[in-house]
Structure 1
């Protein structure tokens, strides 16, 4: 069963902030301790860096506190991987909500179908054969021509965690157009990126250490694998989101540049205007 805590949006909207925060903290701690939730083999190269459960739980907190995610939201997870964000969401989204996860790497999709969808049928996963020079070099669809297999205005909340950090700007723009199509009016995009401001590349404590990329306004960590970690001058990604019809609601700097922050990558919250067609 989804959402084991009383996370009724009407209660959370009217409860004092301290009470709502306490409810969320209790939920996050219970997720981290829950030994019955599915978790992939840590030895799998597809799991990625860091603690699988802890990072997913951290981002659930960010979704709610920064992004305003509600338990009833219809969620699209672009770049869902092996379910790092999906697993904690099973404990937050209620049974009236739905979740769709997409990724080009079949290993992660198969694991999620077998271990998440089997228990939580309102969580669905599908592989989209998008070409990527590192993660899916033989993909059939160019990232700049992506059309996602969902109807217009189907989602209330779209998340792209560590996706824009591996894409050229023209592909981020293509995803932005699709997100704008897929969001219902008032819906939100939660996107993480490396937004590079003046002085950031010179910070000794910055991780990664960026150098100028081949494209104007781009920054790369490794010339041998430019899309392994790529950043862009601060205005560029917000600019393509706005061009796609989204309104920038928040830009929250991350601690990758060596400053204090609750999250590693920079976070952008973009909203589809209520009067959007």
Structure 2
């Protein structure tokens, strides 16, 4: 199977050589800049690897794959402890763009508000007390009834990085519908996931051994790690998230499979990028 599937004839953003060189330079500067904030290791509650390097990697994906521009208003769902926010402080125009990050984990939001917002006033963070069996089991808001705390058409770009990997299927549908609402026409949703193309691939040598114990729930489109918290790592049947995006009104632009399958790729989780149609489309 092809590693990258294109689903539309939209004009894709293509960086000219000068723009590509500048983006490469910026990402390297983010990785090397010791003055950019990094939370203490013990405070990082999600994800592994180098904090700044992973953030810089995703900045590159946002720009190259989804056409993120410096003047775009950005919503970061599941912003955690600022791993996407920190590199975006170096890319988004402080006078033209806003960033809003939401997460159910209060400690991460407090670190971001204390460390990032005082220096970058266009960066806002807030706790959304959504119930999640892994990160916020006592949350006051049921995931199915979640509503993003923003007005319609407020953003140009929404990131959901390592969020779908911890959600049940009905909440994927809710998030897609809510993101569609808060995006402007032409806005993009950039979502990462574990997409199960074929149950047999979980037993192949190249598959990440941490995910080979994924088991499918009976009569459900989702997969969970055997013996673990059900939200520790959630996979979905190929086509389920695509369908949720389309049901919300999106046009699916790209689906790109990651190295966790054993594929050759420049990213680990699977990427799905969708666009809210423009009014004159």
* Pair 1:16–1:168, CA change in 2 (3 A): closer
| Structure 1 position 45, deviation (Å) | 4.6
Q: Is the 8 A contact 1:79 1:161 kept in 2?
A: yes
- For the residues of structure 2 that align with 1:59 and 1:86, how far apart are their CA atoms? 10
**Number of the residue aligned with 1:202:** 203
Alignment partners' CA distance in 1, 2:225 and 2:205: 14
Cα root mean square deviation, aligned: 1.6
CA–CA distance in structure 1, aligned partners of residues 139 and 205 of structure 2: 37
1:251 to 2:250 alignment: no
Gaps of 5+ in 2: 1-12
Aligned to 2:72: 73
Q: Find the aligned partners of 2:122 and 2:108 in 1 and give their Cα distance.
A: 18
Instruction: Give the structure-2-normalised TM-score.
Output: 0.90
- Could you tell me which residue of structure 2 aligns to residue 271 of structure 1? 275
Query: Where in structure 2 are the equivalents of 1:90-169 lying within 5 Å?
Result: 90-95=89-94, 96-169=96-169
Distance in 1 between the 2:82 and 2:219 partners? 32
Deviation at 1:214, TM superposition (A): 4.2
Distance 2:154 2:97 in 1: 12
Q: Secondary structure at the match of 1:228?
A: coil
- Find the residue that maps to 1:66 and give its secondary structure: helix
Partner of 2:26: 27
1:227 corresponds to: 231
* Cα pair 1:165 1:194 within 8 Å, conserved: yes
> 1:261 aligns to what SS in structure 2?
coil
- Runs of 4+ off more than 3 Å: none
8 Å contact kept, 2:70–2:97: yes
- Going from structure 1 to structure 2, the CA distance change for 1:18 and 1:111 (only over 3 Å counts) comes to same
Q: How many residues get paired? A: 264
- 3-state SS of the aligned residue for 1:49? coil
Contact kept in structure 2, 1:222 and 1:229, CA below 8 Å: no
Please give the per-residue CA displacement for 1:58-89, whole angstroms capped at 9, x wherever unaligned: 11111111111100000000000000000000
Task: Report SS of the residue matched to 1:70.
Answer: coil
Deviation at 1:47, TM superposition (A): 5.3
Cα distance in 2, alignment partners of residues 178 and 166 from structure 1:
17
* Stretches of structure 1 lacking an aligned partner (at least 5 in a row): 1-12
Matched, 1:179 2:179: yes
State TM-score, norm by structure 1.
Answer: 0.92
Q: Deviations over 1:143-164 (max 9, x none)?
A: 0111111000000000000000
Change (3 A) 1:276 1:235: farther
The 8 Å contact of residues 40 and 47 in structure 1, kept in 2 or not, is answered as no
Q: Which residue is equivalent to 2:52?
A: 53
1:184 offset after TM fit, Å?
0.1
- Deviation, 1:257, is 0.5
1:5 is matched with none
